[in-house]
Amino acid sequence: MYKTIHQYYLYILSNKKNGTLYIGVTNDLERRMFEHKNKLVDGFTKKYGLNKLMYFESFQYVNDAIKREKNMKKWKREWKIKLLVEENPNWDDLSSDWTFLID
């Protein structure tokens, strides 16, 4: 018997360089980015226009992704900015060239 390996993602969104940040977790990053870009879900990201993927990490287990999210949400803003500058110095939208194939 084969076990299905699931993928979970912690991700950080922004609206612009040094803008408002949002940290979330999902099991389908492509679908979630489609939802953010098309403002399909009411809430913080829709209100502030947070639809640019600045950073993400992948995890095999959802509990690990949630633990990382909770930990990172406690970080000072300057630590989050430092991570983004190190990993994505131009603040590029990592999903800008994605072709969304949503069911």
Q: Kindly indicate the confidence band of residue 65, based on its pLDDT and cuts at 50, 70 and 90.
A: very high
CATH class of the domain comprising 8-87: alpha beta
Least confident of 4-13, 14-23, 43-52: 4-13
pLDDT of residue 98: 86
Contact 100, 30 (CB under 8 A): yes
Q: Is the pLDDT of residue 67 over 90?
A: yes
Q: Is the pLDDT of residue 1 over 60?
A: no
pLDDT of residue 102: 58
Domain positions in the chain are 8-87
Q: Is the pLDDT of residue 6 over 70?
A: yes
How many CB atoms sit inside 10 A of residue 15's CB? Answer: 15
pLDDT of residue 41: 86
What CA dihedral angle connects 38, 57, 22 and 80, to 10 degrees? -150
